[in-house]
Amino acid sequence: GENVEQHPSTLSVQEGDSAVIKCTYSDSASNYFPWYKQELGKGPQLIIDIRSNVGEKKDQRIAVTLNKTAKHFSLHITETQPEDSAVYFCAASISINDMRFGAGTRLTVKP
Amino acid sequence: KAGVTQTPRYLIKTRGQQVTLSCSPISGHRSVSWYQQTPGQGLQFLFEYFSETQRNKGNFPGRFSGRQFSNSRSEMNVSTLELGDSALYLCASSLAAGVGLSGANVLTFGAGSRLTVL
């Protein structure tokens, strides 16, 4: 089955700096790669996703890149703000009923 | 549009007891997936239901079971609770007319049910 590894496990940046979280996956058949943000006391919330026919996708300060040959994808957050502090999860899947998640990255943005 | 609703939000049980958690998906969503979240293991897939049928199951013992009703609401049950079952149990719903993934077919999570086993 699919195995997703996520790095780093913790990340601390100064407000205004960029943050990058990286994930690798094992199943070359995976074609859907979402990123979720989980704030304290809440469930994970989808913030951006990318499908295998696209190499990069942007949404304001958030971008995701995908390298299918190397089987890795990354989340980039620019101009970080304190409200970006949360746990971020990547996932990889070929179907909606078997999504595999990375272990999570705790991002802290210092004011 | 109401989100995914999970009840109860918090509960405490003792070893050996059983527990039932409930999930109401977003209106119109027919697929419900369950995940277990623990600090050490992250988000682990339990099972997924669509049209009252379990389509996929993760690597959990038979003590973990679920079901889905005709209105797409779902329940999961854990019998003979163990200390290690303490976790946040998350439910997620999706349109999932099929298992394929399209622009509209994404997972939306509820806030979870936090189970503590003493």
Half-sphere exposure of A82 (CA within 13 A, CB side): 2
Distance from CA of A80 to the nearest CA of B (A): 24
> What's the pLDDT score for residue A51?
84
The answer to whether B107 and A96 are in contact (CB under 8 A) is yes
Could you read off the pLDDT of A18-58 as tens digits, one per residue? Answer: 999 999 999 998 888 999 999 998 999 999 999 877 799 99
Residue B96 is classified by DSSP as: -
Q: Is the peptide bond before A44 cis (omega within 30 degrees of 0)?
A: no
Mean pLDDT of B99-107: 62
> What's the pLDDT score for residue B105?
67
- Whether residue B43 and residue A101 make contact (CB cut-off 8 A), yes or no, is yes
| Comparison of pLDDT for B106 and A76, the residue scoring more | A76
Q: Which of A43, A93, A94 sits opposite B110 (nearest CB)?
A: A43
Distances (CA, A) of B45 to A29, A75, A89, B64, B91: 18, 22, 14, 12, 10
Using an 8 Å CB-CB cutoff, list chain A residues near B109: 36, 43-45
- Whether residue A97 and residue B31 make contact (CB cut-off 8 A), yes or no, is yes
Chain B interface includes A34 (CB < 8 A): yes
CA-based angle A43:B70:B28, to the nearest 5? 55
Chain A interface includes B20 (CB < 8 A): no
| Comparison of pLDDT for B103 and A3, the residue scoring more | A3
> What's the pLDDT score for residue B104?
53
For residue A62, the tally of other CB atoms under 10 A from its CB is: 16
Could you read off the pLDDT of A55-89 as tens digits, one per residue? Answer: 999 999 999 999 999 999 999 999 999 999 999 99
Could you read off the pLDDT of B20-29 as tens digits, one per residue? Answer: 999 999 998 9
Using an 8 Å CB-CB cutoff, list chain A residues near B43: 44, 89, 101, 104
Could you read off the pLDDT of B46-70 as tens digits, one per residue? Answer: 999 998 999 889 999 999 999 999 9
CA nearest to A37 within chain B: B109
Chain B interface includes A71 (CB < 8 A): no
The answer to whether A74 and A50 are in contact (CB under 8 A) is no
DSSP-assigned letters across all residues of A31-94: -EEEEEEE-TTS--EEEEEEETT-SEEEETTEEEEEETTTTEEEEEE-S--GGG-EEEEEEEBS
How would residue B44 be classed by pLDDT, with cut points 50, 70 and 90?
very high
Spatial separation of the C-alpha atoms in residues B25 and B37, rounded to whole Å: 19
Mean pLDDT of B98-118: 79
CA nearest to A106 within chain B: B39
CA nearest to B46 within chain A: A98
Spatial separation of the C-alpha atoms in residues B87 and A44, rounded to whole Å: 15
